[in-house]
Amino acid sequence: MNQTKTNPFLARTQEETFTGVIQNNDLVLRSLYEGVYPKVRHYILQNNGSDDQAKDTFQEAFVTTWKNVKDGKLKKDNGLNVEAYLFTVAKNKWLDYLRSSRYKKTTRVDKVIHLRPDVEEEESEPDQGQDEMMAMQRAFKQLGEKCKMVLKLFYFERKSMDEISSELQITSASVRNQKYRCMEKLRLLSLEIKSNG
């Protein structure tokens, strides 16, 4: 059984975890975050890191894991455990940082040479299209609150038109139109950001 620390109160199969991550299920994402972060924090604090660095490294690893599950790079049928994978990605990111010139400029090299990379999991994050993605995310932040809310509820939280309609107290037709207009606005803003560098 490919489970890490589970207990009778939290029984969830890896299949449920995979599906939950793919669908951005709040409970699954939250328990993945809350379950793995303490271990990563402990590891980073033990290896010359601070609380802020633990948070940043873990969140980067969380996004990488989330993407790899969604893109099918991490498959549920090959026996991999999402929690263990996330921990390894975070650990590798921290080891990469410790070896980086940014870190070595301020630290004695002999402090880190005993650390070995954990290569049991491949961390794959292609940089192709990274600028475009950054521009789009910046554009999202610049959208008005209403637009952000509609897009977030539909594309991230996967809520239906009716659910969004009752949550925002507007008609379903209005939700549909706003969703379209906001996506159009997001694209335009992204293109502007990209062309202005």
Partner 1 sequence: MDKYPKYISQEKQELFERYLLNEMDKAEQPAFLAKLDADASLKAEFNEFKKLFSAVEEASLHEKMNEYHKTFETYSSKEATSKKRFPFRINYGIAASVILLLSLGGIWYFNAGNKTEKLFDEFYSPDPGLPTVMGDTNNYDFYEAMVAYKHGDYDQAIEKWKKLLVTKQQNDTLNYFLASAQMAIGDEKAANAGFLKVIANKGSVFEDDAYFYLGLEALNRGAIPEAKSLLELSKKEASKELLNQLRKK
Binding residues for partner 1 (CB under 8 A): 5-10, 24, 26-27, 29-31, 33-35, 37-38, 41-43, 46, 51, 55, 59, 62-63, 66-67, 129, 132-133, 136-137, 139-141, 151-152, 155-158, 176-177, 180, 183-184, 186-188, 190-191
CB 107 within 8 A of CB 48: yes
We find the least distance from the C-beta atom of residue 101 to partner 1, in angstroms, to be 27
In the complex, least distance from residue 133 CB atom to partner 1, rounded to whole angstroms = 6
Task: Give me 103's structure tokens.
Answer: 């870190």
**Residue 32 CB contacts under 8 Å (≥ 6 apart), including other chains:** 17, 21, 62, 82, 83, 86
Contact 88, 120 (CB under 8 A): yes
Smallest distance, partner 1 to C-beta of residue 39, A: 8
- 40, with CB counted inside 10 A (0-12, 13-18, 19+), is buried
CB of 157 to partner 1, least distance (A): 8
**Hey, what's the torsion of the CAs at 159, 136, 94, 15, to 10 degrees?**
30
Phi/psi of residue 71, nearest 5 degrees: -80, 0
Minimum distance of partner 1 from residue 55's CB (angstroms): 6
* Minimum CB distance to partner 1 smaller for 96 or for 118: 118
In this complex, which beta carbon is closest to partner 1, that of residue 18 or of residue 66?
66
Q: Which of 118, 142, 125 shows the shortest CA–CA distance to 71?
A: 125
Which of residues 43 and 103 has its CB atom nearest to partner 1 in the complex? 43
Give 30 or 146: the residue with its C-beta nearer to partner 1.
30
Nearer residue to partner 1 within complex by CB, 81 or 105: 81
For residue 65, give the 3-state DSSP assignment.
Answer: helix
